[in-house]
Amino acid sequence: MTIDQAIFHKFDLNSLVTFLVVYQERGVSRAAKSLQVTQPAVSNVLSKLRTKFDDPLFIPCGRVVRPTHKADLIAEVLAPAMIIVQELIAQGALDKDAECALAQMKVEIFSLTGK
C-alpha cells in the first residue's frame, strides 16, 4: 500500500481529530472545551469537513448534535485508525487494543479492495 502524498498535503489531519471529538461529545461547544479551542474554531473545521465530504455531518437537535449516516460511517472507519495512530504517538508501540483495531482494519480493507 502506498500513500498518496498529494491528498495529505491538501488536508489538515487535525480536522479528523476535531470531527471525532464532536462525534463523541455530541456537541460543538463541548468538543471545543475538550479540545481547548473556541467554539467558532470547531465550527470552522466542521464547515470545511462538510464541504470535503459533501454532507452536513451533524444535525442540531436541541442542545446536542446528531451525526448523519455519513458521519457514522466516517467515524466507524476513522476511530480505529486514530486509536492506532494515538498508540504510536503516545508509546511508540501498539498495545493489544491497537493491534486488534489494526487487524480489524486489515480485514475491512481486504474485503473492500481484495488486497
Let me know if residue 41 belongs to a domain: yes
Let me know if residue 1 belongs to a domain: no
Overall average pLDDT of the 27-42 stretch: 97
Let me know if residue 3 belongs to a domain: no
Q: Which amino acid is at 32?
A: A
Q: How does pLDDT run across 58-85, given as a tens digit for each residue? A: 999 999 999 999 999 999 999 988 988 8
CATH number, domain containing residue 34: 1.10.10.10
Please state, in angstroms and rounded to a whole number, the distance separating the CA atoms of residues 98 and 27: 26
Let me know if residue 49 belongs to a domain: yes
Residue 7 pLDDT grade (very low, low, confident, very high; cuts 50, 70, 90): confident
The tally of domains found in the chain comes to 1
Phi, psi of 58 (to 5 degrees): -135, 135
- Residue range of the domain that includes 50: 8-113
Pairing of strands 58-61, 64-67: antiparallel
Read off the pTM.
0.78
The pLDDT value given to residue 27: 97
Let me know if residue 2 belongs to a domain: no
